[in-house]
Amino acid sequence: MRCEEESTDHLFFSCNIVKLFWAELSSMLNLNDFSCYEDVAEKWLSNAKHVVTNMISSALMWTFCKFRNNLHFGRVSWSGLQVIWYRLLRLLRRWRILCPQKNLQLLDNCLLLMETKVREAP
């Protein structure tokens, strides 16, 4: 399911599928869209204020990278966005323990929204 020449920018930001995820996550977090690495890195500079955003953006990029490799090496085939939502949700549930108590409500709200994405029909 390759749509153009591979690059880091394409893998994490410019691919149309990736753009859908960033738009959905931006909406969940009530932030402007993430359209480039600088948009993500800007939040890392003020981690205390953006703990949940940073957890989710890191998990999303990790999920994209692993899923792309699994596609490339034939371990999985494309079956819809729900698979990526599920993998992201599963990873963030494991990382939940790392979230400070004061930020748990926001993270849990995002996890609930992701659960609805997993259940959406393809």
Q: Note the pLDDT tens digit of each residue in 32-51.
A: 888 888 998 999 888 788 99
**Which residues form the domain of 82?**
8-119
103 in a structural domain: yes
Provide the pLDDT for residue 7.
Answer: 87
Instruction: State the Cα torsion 51-22-82-71 to the nearest 10°.
Output: -100
When computed from its CA atoms, the radius of gyration of the chain, rounded to whole angstroms, is 14
2 in a structural domain: no
Low-confidence ranges of the chain (pLDDT < 50): none
Number of domains in the chain: 1
3 in a structural domain: no
Max Cα separation, the chain? 42
- Cβ pair 33, 6 in contact under 8 A: no
56 in a structural domain: yes
